[in-house]
Amino acid sequence: MTAGGLNRFEKVVYFVVYIAYIVIGLYKIYALRDRVLSTSQFQFAEGWRLLQRGNEVRLRDNSNDELENFGDFLATFWPYYLLHALLSGVLRWKWPHLLHHGYVAVSALALLLNLHWTSLAMLSALIVSYYLSAQRRSKRLTWLLSGLWVVAINIAKNSQWWLNQVGYAEYVMLIVTLSWSVLRGCSYSLKKVDNAGFVEYLGYATYFPCLTHGPFISYERFVQQPIEGECESSKDSWKRFLLALLRVGFWWLMMHWALHFFYIHYMGRDVRVVAMMDSVFWQHSAGYFMGQFFFMYYVVTYGLGIAFAKQDGIAAPRRPRCIGRIHFYSDMWKYFDEGLYEFLFKHIYAELCGKQSSVMAKVCATAFTFAFVFIWHGLHTDVLIWSVLNFLCLGAEKIYRALVSLPAYQQWSLQLFGSAGAQRFQALLATQLFIPAAFSNVYFIGGKEIGDFLMRGAYLSGVGNYLALCFCSYCFFQCSELLLSRTTNHKDKIKST
């Protein structure tokens, strides 16, 4: 489907509606700031002094645990990022055969100096267990081991004794690190090559820039050699690396600046604040900006890991794609977290079905994939709802794509609507899939309470509200389709030259 047949005025209308809704919605969230401060029992953090006016203290929304924990992590571990960059640069220049030794040394130093012995024991046991599993070359053993480690992680997550031993910051760090390490262990064990040594495996399993905050890099990507002709000079490489770090730093500062004015993270915790907005129609914008701030967080965390990985010559996945440019939910999985998608597709979905498999086999493979997503993310009700909605929305999208690809449908729609009209009709149908898929993310980002609230607002607030939501979502969909078509055409022109 392409939006290329639409007239210019119509395209302008779509973008005007899109931009107007975003600007007005953002203003309405800003207008709630004082009411949030007057009604909230949460103690917001004191903001930047540069933003204070006279004696007025401007407070910052620090209610997002992930964001605050990442800030604390950087405050503790930034010297090891610097050490990694310097050491890997020297080793690549003088002793490239010792590069993996350098990766292991930096990570070992960072962990040994900062983690409790119980944390070190758990992480070491997990890493070694997957190396031993790889020697057996058994997929069943690897998945059995992964199941045992997921159980162990959930036990540790609910252990008050261990939490008291290590403190909250280390507790969060290790739970996240262990979860990523399960994927790395699986990737190595399932794709092990004969000449892979223990040090190379440790270099992959403990690669510090992606150890805790991602993104996930498969073992195949980690050992992939640069394509001939794509190698940069040392000067260009360092320049690109510094620019990537500056980009990450810019978005980090922008996000923290914005949280002085828009208490969007707190809105995800307190439904009463979202209900303060003057209409159900504008409450939908809260869900949109929860998604955008969630996206910005991963632009920063993943962007940092990707910058270091590319500097080290590793074929890192791409940065997350902005959710404002995603209009099919299958693209959310493909382009928001590319590394995780590759793992799920290669090691679960593709192992259970192929292109020629029956529809039922593909449905079962998708169900198993999302069952793993649910278990790996944690056995929580909001994650379960999010996973089920993801499964249903992707299933509905497959049905939609099968329908619009039928020759009989294409002939019927062209005869009835014409080329541009058929595109509009397909976009209208697809919008009905886009709405629940978009709101499903709120369950994952904010939890069950806010997810239920916005879902009820979308579907149980009258026909007029739903028609208005459909119109705006339809405009969003068409804008994303136009941007995608433009990007695709640009890439095709580059290839042709």
Catalytic residues: 377
Whether 280 and 461 have beta carbons less than 8 Å apart is answered as yes
Q: Please, which residues have CB within 8 angstroms of residue 207's CB and are 6 or more apart in sequence?
A: 103, 107, 217, 222, 309
Closest listed residue to residue 121, CA positions, set 161, 178, 183, 204: 178
Instruction: For the chain, give the longest Cα–Cα distance.
Output: 71
What kind and span of H or E run contains 59? Answer: strand 59-60
Whether 362 and 334 have beta carbons less than 8 Å apart is answered as no
- Estimate to the nearest angstrom the gap between the alpha carbon of 122 and the chain centroid: 26
DSSP for 241-305, please give it.
HHHHHHHHHHHHHHHHHHTTT--HHHHHH-HHHHHTSS-HHHHHHHHHHHHHHHHHHHHHHHHHH
d(CA 61, CA 112): 33
Whether 255 and 297 have beta carbons less than 8 Å apart is answered as yes
Q: How far is CA 445 from CA 37, 171, 248, 424, 469, in A?
A: 22, 20, 21, 31, 21
Backbone angles phi, psi at 59, to 5 degrees: -95, 150
| Cβ-based neighbour number of residue 186 at 10 Å | 24
Cα dihedral 217, 222, 227, 230 in deg (nearest 10)? 70
Whether 143 and 351 have beta carbons less than 8 Å apart is answered as no
**Helical ranges in 64-167 per DSSP H:** 65-94, 99-114, 117-136, 139-157, 160-166
Helix (H, G, I), strand (E, B) or coil at 53: strand
Backbone angles phi, psi at 456, to 5 degrees: -60, -40
d(CA 379, CA 466): 32
Tell me which long-range contacts 364-371 makes (C-beta under 8 A, separation of at least 24): 366/391, 366/394, 366/395, 367/391, 369/344
Place of tokens 């260009």: 236
Q: How far is CA 117 from CA 112, 114, 155, in A?
A: 8, 10, 17
Whether 400 and 327 have beta carbons less than 8 Å apart is answered as no
